[in-house]
Structure 1
Amino acid sequence: MTGVAKQTGGCQCGAVRYRASGELGYPHICHCRMCQKAAGNYFLPLAAAMRKDFELTRGAPKWFQSSDLVRRGFCGDCGTPLFYDIPEADFINITLGSLDEPDTVKPVMQSNTGRKMSWFHALDGLPLEPQPETSDRENAITASNHQHPDHDTQKWPLGETS
């Protein structure tokens, strides 16, 4: 289908993978305290995939009922936050950082800014660490990387025979 986006993504260890066809709706950054806690971060970027266009392609998330209205899906093995779900809605929210190509979805809004960190405006003024790291360290990290690659795989980990 021309003009219809397909997004794939999953957790850090590769145990849970998903695919969403169609455009992701309302990409935004939520600053609410619940999202901060769920992400273990200062905010949580989310976008909605229509349920009819969404499928799990590997594994299944574990769920935490964070309120009477909302549950949050995450990988039970590595802990990656994946979904913000309102079960009766016709969409499911995907965490944008779990996309294989997160740079393709630009947030259009911020929500719950009452809990936004007061110092965010100063981030661009922070000094930058020297680049690059030593090649020995980069090579050691690359050689020992256990993170799932940013694309679908037939099996994972790659060394598995089944």
Structure 2
Amino acid sequence: MKSRKIEVSGGCQCGAVRYRASEMLDNAHLCHCRMCQKAVGNLFAALVAAPNDKLTWTRGRPAVFKSSDHAERGFCAACGTPLFYNSLDNDRINLTIGSLDAPERFPPVSQIGLEGRVSWFADLAGLEEGGETGADGNEDWAQSVEASSRQHPDHDTESWPPVP
């Protein structure tokens, strides 16, 4: 597995936990195992690793759940955002790609845990697409969500939440 010197940042939805990594591995992947599905509340976990010594928690600390004798999973205790999967027997931590500020920089290169992959996963690309407003075109709803959003922006901030 190759690594590359690349500065990345990320964090949870509410902004209570933020991190920065100065090096990333080239192992971006999807894990379909049932444990990952439960941990992220979704069909799969999208993960990419950073060496432990290249990761710094810049705001707050994640809560940790030891999901087995071999692994722990980190999340924000305030908003619940899944942040990482950590195998206890190596020197890297797999960050959730969705928690990165620029997730598009890490397209998955493999899939694992295929025994848990849902049978209709391959059909997802053929689904009808709707925009931010949803299939019904409700722009008022989308604007209301945007105006009242408490989601942390996709970049580091001096403090959070912002002072009015």
Q: Do they fold alike, i.e. is TM over 0.5?
A: yes
Residue in 1 that maps onto 2:28: 27
Contact 1:5 1:22 in 2 (8 A): yes
> Alignment partner of 1:5: what SS?
strand
SS in 2 for 1:23: strand
Amino acid at match of 1:41: N
Hey, what does 1:120 align to over in structure 2? Answer: 121
Stretches of structure 2 that go unaligned for 5 or more consecutive residues are: none
1:52 has 2:53 as partner: yes
Query: Residue by residue, what CA displacement relative to the aligned partner does 1:93-139 show, whole Å, maximum 9, x if unpaired?
Result: 10111000000101111001111111112112222236754443232
Amino acid at match of 2:141: R
Tell me which of 116, 123, 142 is aligned to 1:138.
142
Aligned to 2:151: 147
- Structure 1, unpaired ranges of 5+: none
Cα contact 2:70–2:89 (8 A) shared by 1? no
Secondary structure in 1 matching 2:27: strand
Match of 1:5 in 2: 6
Percent identity between matched residues is 50
Runs of 4+ more than 4 Å apart: none
State the 1:146 CA deviation.
0.2
- For 1:130 and 1:107, the matched residues in 2 are separated by 23
Pair 130,152 (structure 1): closer, same or farther in 2 beyond 3 Å: closer
Q: Is the 8 A contact 2:16 2:59 kept in 1?
A: yes
**Match of residue 15 from structure 2:** 14
Contact 2:24–2:48 under 8 Å retained in 1: no
Q: In 2, are the aligned partners of 1:25 and 1:49 still within 8 Å (CA)?
A: no
Moved more, 144-153 or 89-98: 89-98
Aligned-partner Cα distance in 2 for 1:84–1:43: 12
Task: Specify the SS of the correspondent of 2:53.
Answer: helix
Aligned mates of 2:146, 2:132 — CA distance in 1:
17
CA RMSD of aligned residues (A): 1.7
Aligned-partner residue type, residue 29 of structure 2: H
131 and 147 in structure 1: CA distance in 2 versus 1, 3 angstrom threshold:
closer
Q: Secondary structure at the match of 1:84?
A: strand
Q: 1:130 & 1:43 partners in 2: Cα distance?
A: 22
Question: What one-letter code is carried by the residue in structure 2 that aligns with 1:84?
Answer: Y
